[in-house]
Amino acid sequence: MVVSMQDKDLNVFRRKSTSLPASTAITCFTRGLDLRKGTEDVLCPANCPLWQFYVFGDGVYASLSSVCGAAIHSGVITNRGGAVRVQTLPGQENYPAVNANGIQSQVLSRWASSFSVTAGTKSTALEAVGRSVSTARPSTGKRPKKTLDKKAGNKDCKADIAFLIDGSYNIGQRRFNLQKNFVGKVAVMLGIGTEGPHVGVVQASEHPKIEFYLKNFTATKEVLFAIKELGFRGGNSNTGKALKYTAQKFFSLENGARKGIPKIIVVFLDGWPSDDLEEAGIVAREFGVNVFIVSVAKPTTEELGMVQDIGFVDKAVCRNNGFFSYQMPTWFGTTKYVKPLVQKLCSHEQMLCSKTCYNSVNIGFLIDGSSSIGESNFRLVLEFVSNVAKAFEISDIGSKVAAVQFTYDQRTEFGFTDFVTKDKVLSAIRSIQYMSGGTATGDAITFTTRNVFGPVKDGPNKNFLIVLTDGQSYDDVRGPAAAAQKAGITVFSVGVAWAPLDDLKDMASEPRESHTFFTREFTGLEQMVPDIIRGICKDFLDSKQ
């Protein structure tokens, strides 16, 4: 039997690698926070698209940075890929922006964790060689081309996107066709698929028209055909009316919107809108929608007098920080503008308006399990906890819930990272067993602040603690509650039956009146649920001002 040189190389590699630790092959867009070990050897692929990398910092990188992007940025590897050792580090402040090796890193004021990158170990390099050899084609020795799973799409760019195109007389039939061509190019580069971005189209004119929803097409070819078939409607460019309509009607679950996925409206505007965009922008933000404005052919000096508000772009976009506005001088020669726009739309960490009170909070429940409550009333307390939790979008990237039961002692029923779906959280709440005992609320607040909120204190979500009790605490509650609030936790106190109002107010955050609740009967907890939810959302919005 003739043994090829390729087979010999593979056999040598296998003999050498049997005693070496395995390393992990990652994608171009694997982030530091996606890795689970303190130190990990990884393999970066070749030919990653540099323009799609998101990197924050220099030398020490925020954990939401691409590992391979950071490795290229720091000079550890080139874009031919290679072995990288990733070391997890604590979070820090002031990650700088530095342009190096073809990658522009970005500024980040603060993040909860970091990492550094160095050259990978010999074992990692050997494994890279082994994979290269084992995947080569027998006849030519060349590596096969990486095949894209077209059905799944670009999994690194999960987003639900509405293209709000301009169909008014401002743009006209010819430029309308050029606009469709540009939108089609953007759709192709996004990598539409079942597990990637989903898109739909709304046409703005005299009256908005939803051309197709997110659920209608999940393949690029289908989307391109649907865009090509769009007819020009004409009329005034009532973009504000169309934006408001899209924010309110387009992103429902029935129409294909997905939970936990960023919602984006890309508004294409030729010239200027005929109506007001400010109110529509406010509505979109309230619905958790990220609004981008792609403006083409700004109004001339003579035309400015016809524009209702020359600052309409800044008032409509998600944030007026420059990221959400995009200017093109003309509809001709737009190919070079496709990649930068797609890069923005795939930058999930920049989607600031995806953060709402429903998907960006940690809610801890501190539940009194003392003897005075009794088993039947304890079940009513758990029903209250469940009803509050149901209102929030619980997921690994969304809101999180934890529960602690206390008497003289404390018992963590489950932490913020134990369950990352709503169904599992609700099941865990129903499974809580009544402890029975005394009442030491102050110690319980201290325990919860340290052990439950401590691990998430530097995370992106805003922290809330809801304390439920039916009586007098045997220890001081004012000091522990003040410490919790100093740690960034907003405290709501909920009292039942014999709970002293003074204790409740001492625990509650300012203004105490809106963070303190009381009912004589446990059955009255049900009526408090909407007020608690509204209170959390009000505090969340106030913190973002």
Give pLDDT tens digits for 86-101: 999 988 888 888 888 8
Angstrom distance (rounded) from CA 450 to CA 263: 35
Angstrom distance (rounded) from CA 330 to CA 334: 8
The one-letter amino acid code at 244 reads K
In the structure, how many helices (H) and strands (E) does the chain have?
16, 20
pLDDT number for residue 88: 92
Name the percent of the chain in helix, strand, coil, to the closest 5. Answer: 35, 25, 40
Angstrom distance (rounded) from CA 417 to CA 424: 12
Task: Specify whether the backbone of 292 is left (phi greater than 0), alpha (psi in -120 to 50) or beta.
Answer: beta
Beta strands in 155-288 (DSSP E): 160-166, 198-204, 209-212, 263-270
Length of the chain: 545
pLDDT number for residue 9: 39
List C-alpha distances in Å: 161 to 53, 198, 233, 266, 436: 20, 6, 22, 7, 51
Phi, psi of 490, deg, nearest 5: -85, 125
Q: Is 495 in contact with 528 (CB distance < 8 Å)?
A: no
Give the torsion sign (CA, 216, 221, 223, 228).
negative
On the 0-12 / 13-18 / 19+ scale of CB atoms within 10 A, 8 is exposed
Instruction: Residue 36: count other Cβ atoms within 10 Å of its Cβ.
Output: 8
Q: Using CA atoms of 514, 520, 522, 525 in order, give the dihedral in degrees to the nearest 10.
A: -20
Residue whose entry in the numeric block shows the structure tokens 């990272």: 417
**Close Cβ partners of 291 (under 8 Å, ≥ 6 residues apart):** 243, 247, 264, 265, 267, 281, 284, 285, 316, 317, 318, 324, 353
Using only the alpha carbons of the chain, give its radius of gyration. Answer: 27
pLDDT number for residue 315: 87
From first to last of the 545 residues of the chain, give the pLDDT tens digit: 444 444 443 344 344 333 334 568 888 878 888 787 889 999 999 888 776 677 889 999 988 888 999 999 999 999 889 999 999 998 888 888 888 888 888 877 777 789 999 988 644 444 433 343 333 333 333 444 444 466 788 888 889 999 999 998 888 899 999 999 999 999 999 999 988 999 999 999 999 999 999 999 988 989 999 999 999 998 888 999 999 999 999 999 899 998 778 899 999 988 777 788 888 998 898 788 999 999 887 666 655 555 556 778 888 998 888 899 999 989 988 899 999 999 999 987 788 887 778 888 999 999 999 999 999 999 999 999 999 999 898 887 789 999 999 999 999 999 999 998 999 999 999 999 999 999 999 999 999 999 999 999 888 899 999 999 999 999 999 999 999 999 999 999 999 999 999 999 999 999 999 999 999 999 999 999 999 998 998 898 788 65
Look up residue 224 and give its two tokens.
């391109």
pLDDT number for residue 107: 78
Look up residue 396 and give its two tokens.
């690994």
Beta strands in 170-323 (DSSP E): 198-204, 209-212, 263-270, 289-296
Angstrom distance (rounded) from CA 50 to CA 343: 10
**Close Cβ partners of 494 (under 8 Å, ≥ 6 residues apart):** 384, 466, 467, 468, 469, 504, 517, 518, 525, 528, 532
Q: What is the pTM of this model?
A: 0.50
Strand partners, 361: 462
pLDDT number for residue 3: 42
Beta strands in 167-323 (DSSP E): 198-204, 209-212, 263-270, 289-296
CA angle 61, 66, 68 (to 5 degrees): 100
Domains of the chain, start order: 24-120 (2.170.130.20), 161-353 (3.40.50.410), 361-543 (3.40.50.410)
Q: Is 481 in contact with 504 (CB distance < 8 Å)?
A: no
User: Omega of the bond prior to 511 within 30 degrees of 0, cis?
Assistant: yes
Phi, psi of 45, deg, nearest 5: -75, 170
Helices 5-17 and 122-134 pack at an angle, to 10 degrees, of 150
